[in-house]
């Protein structure tokens, strides 16, 4: 635990300045849901009335303002935990940092290419775990030779072959925990400028979680920036020295993990 709190000196410029990797400046993120029926207007009675009166259904648009004016700067060498209750905007913010969702207002600047590792990251269910590892490596920019070399290491790290030769079976036959382990193992095989991890550790067992947490620390030590979204406060405490608490799309606290998680836990206990 102690080594997590030491400043990462590799992450500073020659002048000792920390190097920013992600700048989020007053970011607003809004989902637009078209055709979403709302309350009475979407009821069976109103649908029947429209049929009888031949009144066309008015197009509806609902907006969910998921992230409301969030600002912070992340630096190279930091591992940052994103915490908050369900629906507070954590995954949305990660998606925006990854460039998968445009900001509606404000701006997000990133250095290098952020990589989002989520439980929904696309791997192909009909291909074997091993083929998916090779494809994943190629997709991350490795050469065929590098991918071939990395494959056995990734499979060993994932531990999916611990009980049987699962690597040769199609991925659709894997449990969700095994799938998540393989996804994490593929992503963690490469150094990332900015690695965004969304609950990927939650589905692994405790042994795999410990290995993953160790790998996150190594990735961070390699001077990348890691963001970890998790409801497991212990994972956040073991991995991240800084945490950001989001609630209803707004930052409630940003600072040392111990302080932020304590405040968050008190808040959750009082609800």
Ligand X SMILES: Nc1ncnc2c1ncn2[C@@H]1O[C@H](COP(=O)(O)OP(=O)(O)OP(=O)(O)O)[C@@H](O)[C@H]1O
DSSP single-letter state for residue 174: S
Does residue number 87 form part of the binding site for ligand X (CB under 6 A)?
yes
Does residue number 243 form part of the binding site for ligand X (CB under 6 A)?
no
Does residue number 13 form part of the binding site for ligand X (CB under 6 A)?
no
Does residue number 77 form part of the binding site for ligand X (CB under 6 A)?
no
**Rounded-to-integer distance, Cα 244 and Cα 101, Å:** 20
Q: What order do you get walking across the sheet with 114-118 strand by strand?
A: 114-118, 194-198, 225-229, 79-83, 242-247, 250-256
Half-sphere exposure (Cβ direction) of 59: Cα atoms closer than 13 Å: 4
Does residue number 31 form part of the binding site for ligand X (CB under 6 A)?
yes
Does residue number 64 form part of the binding site for ligand X (CB under 6 A)?
yes
- DSSP notation for 131-168: HHHHHHHHHTT--HHHHHHHHHHHHHHHTTTSSS-GGG
Instruction: State the minimum distance, in angstroms, from the CB of residue 158 to ligand X.
Output: 24
DSSP single-letter state for residue 200: T
Per-residue binding string, ligand X, 91-110, x by CB under 6 A, is xx------------------
Does residue number 230 form part of the binding site for ligand X (CB under 6 A)?
no
Instruction: State the minimum distance, in angstroms, from the CB of residue 101 to ligand X.
Output: 9
For ligand X, the closer of residues 86 and 266 by Cβ is 86
List contacts with ligand X (CB under 6 A): 31, 33, 64, 66, 84, 86-92
């Amino acid at each position: 635990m102690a080594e997590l709190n030491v400043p990462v000196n590799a992450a500073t410029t020659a002048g000792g300045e920390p190097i920013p990797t992600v700048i989020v400046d007053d970011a607003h993120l809004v989902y637009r849901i078209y055709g979403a029926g709302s309350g009475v207007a979407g009821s069976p009675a109103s649908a029947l009335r429209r049929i009888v009166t031949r009144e066309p259904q008015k197009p509806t648009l609902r907006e969910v303002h998921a992230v409301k004016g969030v600002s912070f700067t992340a630096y190279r060498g930091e591992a940052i935990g994103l915490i908050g209750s369900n629906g507070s905007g954590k995954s949305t913010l990660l998606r925006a940092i990854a460039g998968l969702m445009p900001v509606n207002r404000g701006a997000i600047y990133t250095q290098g290419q952020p990589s989002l590792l989520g439980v929904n990251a696309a791997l192909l269910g009909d291909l074997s775990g091993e083929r998916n590892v090779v494809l994943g490596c190629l997709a991350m920019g490795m050469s065929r030779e590098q991918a071939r070399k990395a494959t056995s290491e990734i499979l060993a790290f994932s531990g999916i072959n611990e009980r049987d030769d699962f690597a040769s079976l199609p991925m659709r036959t894997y449990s969700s925990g095994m799938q998540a382990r393989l996804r994490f193992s593929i992503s963690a095989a490469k150094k990332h400028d900015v690695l965004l991890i969304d609950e990927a550790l939650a589905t692994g067992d405790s042994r795999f979680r410990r290995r993953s947490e160790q790998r996150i620390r190594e990735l961070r030590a390699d001077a990348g920036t890691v963001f970890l979204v998790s409801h497991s406060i212990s994972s956040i405490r073991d991995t991240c020295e800084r945490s950001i608490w989001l609630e209803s799309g707004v930052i409630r606290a940003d600072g040392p993990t111990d302080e932020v998680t304590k405040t968050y836990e008190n808040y959750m206990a009082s609800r």
